[in-house]
Amino acid sequence: MEVVEAASLNPPKKPSICNECNLNPSKYTCPGCSLRSCSLPCVKSHKQRTSCMGKRPRSEFVPFSQFDDNLLISDYNLLEEVKRVADSAQRLRNGLCGKPYFKLPDKLRFLKNAAYRRNTKLLLLPSGMSMREKNNSWYNIKKKSIFWTIEWRFHSADVVLTDHGVFIDGEEETD
């Protein structure tokens, strides 16, 4: 008896008809315009007829009552894509203008150039990284000398020692 009552409270929904062919029951809902369709040919016909892209408008207002985790992720992905496109455009613009995308501070540029003149390829970590902050290597322009920060790691004893201002006698090579 209870089963019959539950069924009468929630009568089965009458399947909606495809809005494209008006023949078959619909199976799919277009995220872009909410049009119901029954098959791939009807979906393609709908997209061609209405010029619908079949994608939900990502910048459309959604009331807070309808906002869910999927919309939050979609918004986050939109912001990430905008950031990626803006960064790409900045790099492209700087590349076309002949300016480097990332300009080192003078202190580090002098150090890198001095190391290069000594046949040493110096790789620098991005700013904000703790290893870069700890590195106090610098180049003295007047003395034409590099003063290195050297970190000694002894893995067998789990010991790390750091020496700052280490001068290694190495002259610049001239062409």
pLDDT in tens, the chain (175 residues): 455 554 455 555 666 899 999 999 999 888 888 899 999 999 999 999 998 888 877 778 888 898 888 888 888 988 999 989 988 887 777 666 665 556 788 999 999 999 999 999 998 887 778 888 899 999 999 989 999 999 999 988 889 999 998 987 766 666 5
Classify 152 as helix, strand or coil: strand
- Give the DSSP H or E segment for 124: none
What ranges do the domains of the chain cover? 14-57, 59-103, 106-167
